[in-house]
Structure 1
Amino acid sequence: MTIKLKYELIVNSFKTIDGRDVNVHVHHCKPAGNTNIASSPTHIGWRGKSDGDDISLFGARKIWIDHCSLLFCADGLIDAIMGSTGITISNNYFTHHDEVMPVGTLTFQRRQH
């Protein structure tokens, strides 16, 4: 199955993007927006122009991105900003880009087992 989005996919807290046993490729993202989008099942609001990141996390908590391929985008492959915490990025493939992720803005937390 292929899903082609006209605008960015907004992912908020407590989500998993799991590419195990399937081909999850996020690629060729470009700045877009200046449109009304649904930010929840009951709210539609104005969204300004995006940066063109493959995955953008804004103030998100407890996100897991696993077994995905990220490549060719206008900005960073993964951008976690505005206090995003508890982000796990594991077993992913990053290619064809020179700005994978802004490590200085991420807060990594050690998982306790």
Structure 2
Amino acid sequence: MNAEYGRPTAAELVAAAAEFLEGDVREATGGQVNFHARVAANALRIVERELLAPVESGVRAGLAGLGFADEAGLAAAIRAGELDGRDDELVSCMRALVRHRLAVAHPGYDDE
């Protein structure tokens, strides 16, 4: 978590906005506004988890093992065909990336 700017942190601000939408707004509304408040709260919860979730060591190791510092470099190499023939390494890295993203976007999905 980056507390570079003091408190409240970005994650705390996002959490407070999500709580407001989940509580006050949803309790005071119905229909389409209630639904949109729920969607907005869910989006804010994803942002909150992104802010709080460090990149897993498996993701970093997978990228480094393939010779990349980030996903953008990996994606460019895949498009250019630079990783052809390294399927096992690539699949392992991609699985780690997908697991990490799912943990942020849809916690518990791996448990289902």
TM-score (structure 1 length as normaliser): 0.18
Bigger strand fraction: 1
Bigger helix fraction: 2
Rg bigger for which structure? 2
